[in-house]
Structure 1
Amino acid sequence: MPDLSFLTDDARALEALLRILPMFAKALVILVAGFMLARLLARLARQTAERIGLSVLLDRTGLSEGLDRAQITRQPAEILASVVRRLVQFGAVMYSLDILGISLARDLLSAVFGFLPALISATVALVAGAMVAQFAGQVVQAGAASAGIDLHAQLGRLVRTLLMMITLIFAIRQLGAETAILESTFVNLLSLSIAGMALAFGLGARDVAADLLAGHYARLRFEPGDRITVDGVTGSLDGIGPLNAQISDAEGRVILPNRRLTGSAVRVHPG
């Protein structure tokens, strides 16, 4: 009898092919539908971002400056649309592979989409924190400027930077990352900054206090109208203020710190 075993093998191969074809067809449909849905959702995300003024929102939070420094020229709405499209396309590819029985795709898909809530939470925290930091920096800067503080811009920038660092640590924590080292570094930097500011303020306050005390003792020694010579400057003493003394000579007015009147040799000319 002729050997008909090859017919059995062909039948088995055909049966396996017929069993696989529906899965391929289903995976292909899911893939095509997913890519179409990705384009639709990306367009919707871009229109929504433009309608709510995402660019203006990022300008207010100061995040647009970071995009400019990173040389990212695309509009925020386009970036959001691109992220949405890639995520949906990735999900479609992974789901199609899962239909084909590739378990690795299922695990990867679960890990990615399980991470999305934390990513969204961190993004919301970052944007909200940036808005608060920007607003607080502007309030501090305006308040310092109205109080006559020369370093009002630097104070506003310092407050904004500190709040942004706190926001960044909180956002990283939302992602499930360990932030102990980052928090320790931030605390150390903050302590050094405060110590430096206190030292600078203390050194500056020392000079101010010295001028205040010197002004008190100088007013006991000298009278307005006295003709004096101090540190090579000769003229008529117009007056002694809280911090400075004013001397007028032939060339104009000379402003001296009060401590120069008590810490230097002063000649009083006879009137």
Structure 2
Amino acid sequence: METIRNWIDQIQQAGIPLVEGFISYLPHLAGAMALLVLGWFVSGLVRTGMVKLVRAVVLLANRVLARGGNFRLKLSPPVLNLLSKLLFWVVFLFFVNLAAHNLMLTAVSDWLDQVVNYLPTFVAGGVILVGGALLSILARDVTYTAASSADLPQARLMGTLAQAGTLVTTLIIGLDQIGIDVTFLANLVVIMVAALLGSLALAFGLGARLFISNVIGAHFLRQQYQPGQRLRLGEHEGTILEFTSTAVILATEEGRQILPAHLYSELPSTLILPREDKEEKEDANE
């Protein structure tokens, strides 16, 4: 009987500090739970606000851009959903770190401190990448519209090249902001761009002479003649319908004839006057 009492006393002596420690730890546990619940609620609000803000900004940007052309910014729902989830967990991670500190979990809190301290750099890099993606779309649309309005060939290819160049530039800047060594990537891009520009310059020098001569010829044709006048260019004769960036379009007896504008500098050109103008000039000479 006395042995049982000794056991009970030992259990009480060992359990009382444990119970007291648990009771004293309860406020920390309750505070951590409150922080997690609050963090979940705040993260949800930030996520919802971010989605509405991005949609409003895209809508406002499209209204502004619509005044100057057919530019439109598009952000697909999966991308917007991914960005909103990332923002949700980033905000919630701050509250998890506070909860770990409140629970006095030193190892976990130290690791989370490092992650939280790195987050601004990571978020800045992410913002640069996302902004670069949107800017690349705008650069593509602007380049394509400008090239199309100037009747330049391969307008779509020019827009794609502008988008790719913007994306590569922002990728290098974003990765460098995050802390990734991009020296090799930057050197590789410089070599590729130099090779591309060299090949384009060679192709332009060899194959674009005719195009340039057509552009120059069309420029001087516009200065000398107007639509509606009758033109004889070498053996070709007809009424001028319109000028393009590289050609002049005549209405002939056979039909609609397109002449390359470089013929203006190679063949004699004559403005054929109407009969009334001819008779007036003959009377004036008499």
- Report the TM-score, using the length of structure 2 for normalisation: 0.60
In the other structure, the counterpart of 1:200 is 203
Say yes or no: does 1:124 pair with 2:149.
Answer: no
Corresponding residue of 1:219 = none
Residue 40 (structure 2) aligned to one of 38, 63, 69: 38
How far did residue 210 of structure 1 move? 11
| Distance in 1 between residues matched to 2:61 and 2:139, nearest whole Å | 16
Counterpart mapping for 1:82-93 below 5 A: 82-93=85-96
Q: 3-state DSSP class of the match of 1:45?
A: helix
Residues 42 and 82 of structure 1 are in contact (CA less than 8 Å); yes or no, is this contact kept in structure 2?
A: no
1:204: how far off? Answer: 1.0
Q: Distance in 2 between matches of 1:112 and 1:172?
A: 17
- Consecutive unaligned residues of structure 1, counting only runs of 5 or more, are 212-223, 227-236, 244-249, 259-271
Tell me, what secondary structure is at the counterpart of 2:181?
coil
Give the Cα separation in 2 of the matches to 1:75 and 1:119: 18
Q: 1:23 aligns with which of 6, 22, 25?
A: 25
Q: Report the identity percentage.
A: 18
Checking the alignment, whether the CA contact within 8 Å between 2:128 and 2:174 is kept in structure 1 is yes
Give a deviation string over 1:204-242, Cα, whole Å, max 9, x none.
13666999xxxxxxxxxxxx999xxxxxxxxxx649xx9
Check if 1:188 corresponds to 2:221.
Answer: no
**Equivalent residues of 2:136, 2:163 under 8 A apart:** yes
Instruction: Give the letter for the 1:129 counterpart.
Output: G
* Residues 95/40 of structure 1: CA separation in 2 closer, same or farther (3 Å cut): closer
**Unpaired stretches in structure 2, ≥5 consecutive residues:** 63-70, 215-231, 238-245, 248-253, 263-286
> Equivalent of 2:136, from 133, 137, 144?
133
Shift of 1:8: 4.2
Question: In structure 1, what is the Cα distance between the partners aligned to 2:84 and 2:212?
Answer: 60
Deviation at 1:81, TM superposition (A): 4.0
Q: Output the aligned Cα RMSD.
A: 4.3
1:179 aligns with 2:198: no
Count the aligned residue pairs. 226
1:27 touches 1:100 (CA, 8 Å); kept in 2? yes
8 Å contact kept, 1:144–1:152: yes
Aligned to 2:14: 12
Give yes or no for the alignment of 1:166 onto 2:162. Answer: no
Shift of 1:104: 2.2
Matched-pair contact (CA < 8 Å) for 1:61–1:133: no
TM-score of the pair, normalised by structure 1: 0.62
Q: Following the alignment from structure 1 to structure 2, what is the Cα–Cα distance between the partners of residues 169 and 83?
A: 21
